[in-house]
Structure 1
């Protein structure tokens, strides 16, 4: 994420969220009757897109806290950044949810198994909504699924 003149570039966040939404919709709608290996591939793709979007979110929050809010000492790590973002009213009342996303990110990246994958996938509707809310809060723009 590079800064643009006068602010922060939200393009990577926007694209990662759009791609996550698209792939999650495929998982929800388009897998009936498909072979297990294809279904498994779609699930893995959703999780990969979640990981990318989540990582983009917390890193963007770090930049936002520093650049837009002028917070002097911004930690370098997702959980402390999320806590600081919550203290600065950027996450609404969703800190507990964001911390569960942090744990899901750790779980799927370091010890991937079917149970952890399913637990992560169960978080997707809420994560997508919270990431959408965050996008709107940080950019001041209304989210539209037509963004590409």
Structure 2
């Protein structure tokens, strides 16, 4: 694996750890909003990690949707639909944002997205160690 993929994985690992801490500790509006921001960062780092990892395999993707579809096809993601919904939710948070909807998205972060992001980390890490 290229050194660049390993650097992306380390950055993603730190962001994921912060997201998991945020999910566990979120009990008021301030901590929920902080966790949502941590999710946004994790999302950005996840697709950039996927892009680098797949490029190393000779697979080119240039946007989150294509990267997530290719990552699912290559066994890096647990559920393609979860990741496609993640795109919608991230875009909503960044471009539209309402308080009520942000709380619905937080529930998906807590109940689904954090686990899916962890799955990605574990599977890419295993593939790097296996190489």
Please indicate, yes or no, whether the TM-score normalized by the shorter chain is above 0.5. Answer: yes
User: Structure 1: which 4+ aligned runs deviate by more than 3 Å?
Assistant: none
How far is the alpha carbon of 1:75 from its aligned partner? 2.4
1:114 matched to 2:102 = no
Q: Confirm or deny that 1:70 pairs with 2:58.
A: yes
The answer for the alignment partner of 2:17 in structure 1 is 18
> Which residue of 35, 39, 64 corresponds with 1:50?
39
Higher relative helix content: 2
8 Å CA contact retained: 1:104, 1:116: no
Q: Distance in 2 between matches of 1:130 and 1:53?
A: 11
TM-score, length-normalised on structure 1?
A: 0.77
RMSD between superposed Cα atoms in Å: 1.7
Structure 2 unaligned spans of 5+: none
How far apart are residue 90 of structure 1 and its match?
1.7
1:104–1:119: 8 Å Cα contact kept in structure 2?
Answer: no
TM-score, normalised to structure 2, is: 0.87
Question: 2:125 & 2:63 partners in 1: Cα distance?
Answer: 22
Q: What does residue 91 of structure 1 align with? A: 77
Aligned counterpart, 1:138 = 124
CA distance in 2, matches of 1:55, 1:47: 13
1:115 offset after TM fit, Å? 2.4
**Cα deviation code 1:47-92 (max 9, x no counterpart):** 000000011111100100011x222xx2211111111111222213
Equivalenced residue count is 124
1:127 counterpart residue number: 113
Give the unaligned 5+ runs of structure 1: 32-38, 142-148
Bigger Cα Rg: 1
